[in-house]
């Protein structure tokens, strides 16, 4: 029987050179999507507020935030290789003040309970400290949250992010949406039949999971429907405020559409 996908496998896949090059290229040349730019301007109006970016990879979003004028940025990822790329790019772009941490989103509650961990590491350094409490906002973009295998893992990340955010803090993230088009719905009906017959890919943890390989390397992704995310938010204490498919937020360039499929944006708030 094939081994189920674990978080260690996902981490190894993001540390793979094929994946590192893919995300480093996006950080260098693609930057923020138009939809991301609009939602960031709308929900994160204060450029001086301390913000936390989860799953920063090679720095596409963090460097984009820096270019928009945000100056109190902490970005973390559990994959060391893309994080190293992010740190180098930040230095190259005069953004060495961004704090980079090597941390796992499912383990944040540890940092939130530990006041010492809230002390910022040396600026421009990759640090193993888990982010501590006190962030005025958080982001987990380009579906990073959905790359955590197992619903309990994703809920642990949601709880942990809430624990490090102050009351009222916005949290912006994206997911795929199994129901965003008739084709997707038809494909997922077929996949449901495979699960009913026990014929699904044995490495998958739950219905909705995919594990595939393309020019970006190997990718694990959980594709939820909207109801599932609403239940996860209710279970972890986040208050939903806004959600929309990307195409409803902005028309993206061809380069962005080639880099990333349709997704659903979620803006939720720490009550």
Ligand X SMILES: C[S@@+](CC[C@H](N)C(=O)[O-])C[C@H]1O[C@@H](n2cnc3c(N)ncnc32)[C@H](O)[C@@H]1O
Residues lying near ligand X in the complex (CB under 6 A): 10, 14, 23, 26, 54-57, 60-61, 77-79, 82, 104-106, 141-144, 147-148
- Cα-based angle 47, 51, 57 (whole degrees, multiple of 5): 115
Residue matched to tokens 């197992």 = 150
Q: Least distance to ligand X from the beta carbon of 48, Å?
A: 22
Nearest to ligand X of 111, 144 (CB atom): 144
CA distance 12 to 115: 30
CA atoms within 13 A on the CB side of 247: 8
Nearest to ligand X of 5, 169 (CB atom): 5
Q: Least distance to ligand X from the beta carbon of 83, Å?
A: 8
Q: Which of 165, 91, 172 is nearest to 126 (CA)?
A: 91
Q: What is the helix (H) or strand (E) element at residue 256, kind and residue range?
A: helix 254-259
Q: Least distance to ligand X from the beta carbon of 57, Å?
A: 3
Nearest to ligand X of 152, 196 (CB atom): 152
CA atoms within 13 A on the CB side of 141: 27
Q: Least distance to ligand X from the beta carbon of 142, Å?
A: 3
């Amino acid at each position: 029987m094939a081994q189920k996908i674990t978080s260690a496998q996902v981490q190894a896949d993001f540390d793979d050179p094929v994946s590192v090059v893919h995300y480093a290229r996006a950080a260098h040349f693609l930057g923020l999507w138009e939809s991301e730019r609009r939602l960031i301007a709308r929900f994160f109006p204060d450029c001086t507020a301390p913000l936390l970016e989860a799953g920063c990879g090679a720095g596409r979003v963090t460097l984009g935030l820096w270019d928009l004028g945000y100056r109190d940025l902490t970005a973390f990822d559990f994959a060391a290789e893309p994080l190293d790329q992010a740190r180098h790019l930040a230095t190259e772009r005069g953004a060495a003040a961004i704090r980079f941490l090597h941390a796992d989103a499912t383990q944040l509650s540890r940092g939130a309970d530990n006041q010492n961990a809230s002390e910022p590491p040396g600026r421009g350094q990759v640090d193993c400290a888990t982010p501590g409490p006190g962030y005025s906002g958080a982001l987990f973009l380009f579906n990073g949250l959905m790359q955590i295998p197992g619903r309990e893992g994703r809920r642990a990340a949601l709880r942990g992010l809430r624990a490090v955010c102050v009351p009222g803090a916005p949290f912006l993230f994206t997911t795929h949406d199994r129901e965003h088009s008739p084709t997707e719905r038809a494909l997922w009906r077929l996949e449901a039949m495979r699960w009913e017959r026990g014929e699904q890919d044995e490495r998958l943890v739950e219905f909705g999971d995919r594990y595939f390989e393309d020019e970006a390397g190997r990718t694990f992704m959980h594709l939820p429907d909207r109801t599932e995310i609403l239940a996860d938010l209710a279970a972890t204490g986040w208050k939903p405020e806004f959600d929309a498919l990307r195409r409803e937020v902005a028309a993206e360039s061809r380069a962005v559409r080639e880099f990333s499929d349709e997704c659903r944006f979620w803006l939720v708030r720490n009550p």
